[in-house]
Amino acid sequence: MSHIVRLNYRLNRFLFCNDAVMCYLCTDLNFIDMTKLYLVRHGETVDNANHIMQGQTPGELNDKGREQAREVAVKMAGVHIDAFVASDLWRAVETCSIIAEPHGADVITTKLLRERDWGSFTGRYIPDLKDVAWPDDIEPIEDLKARARQFIDFIREKFPDKTVLAVGHGIVNKAIQSVYYNKEMKDIAPMHNAEVRELML
């Protein structure tokens, strides 16, 4: 049987040891139980399909997005999940509610999972923004990643040793993984609508 040893989630260093090996590397190493996080991007929205920058607008799933959420619901129906968490933006809440329905569970919302605030770019047609100078009212990447750290801490502290499914958005989910893996945002693969990734916190 293997044991998982966590150094620090920001470093994303996991050491796997078999029963025959005793690990005394440093005082920071602890045999612990961990919180499992299923990180999900919301289903496709009307604005996604039309290539509109949604930012922190509520958004609304289209028929394809609802079907994507139902597919995740079927996939996760037999998985034990202790809590369902979503951004407080409607497209994430709707996606999470569909996924949580087979479990008969309520959805907890948090502003920490909101999409990046795109400021003056919000509501614009994305292809038109390719060569446009970025305005000063876009949420700084440092602030976004700080929010991502707060979200990870929130999940670990509120749901220790539990399994949580959380529905967020493309860029904030990338920021969460950037913090988790200690990688640059550009090195995190984009998440497709209704894609699920697993993190151990």
Predicted model pTM: 0.86
Q: What's the confidence (pLDDT) of residue 33?
A: 72
- Determine what percent of the chain is predicted with pLDDT higher than 70: 84
Q: What's the confidence (pLDDT) of residue 16?
A: 39
88-135 per-position pLDDT tens digit: 999 999 999 999 999 999 999 999 999 999 999 999 999 999 999 999
36-41 and 14-17 as β-strands: parallel, antiparallel, unpaired?
unpaired
36-41 and 83-87 as β-strands: parallel, antiparallel, unpaired?
unpaired
- In DSSP notation, 22-62 reads ---S-TT-EE----EEEEEEPPPBHHHHTTB--TTS---B-
* Sequence ranges of the domains in the chain: 1-32, 33-200
The closest of 72, 58, 106, 110 to 195, measured between CA atoms, is: 72
166-183 per-position pLDDT tens digit: 999 999 999 999 999 999
Class of domain 33-200: alpha beta
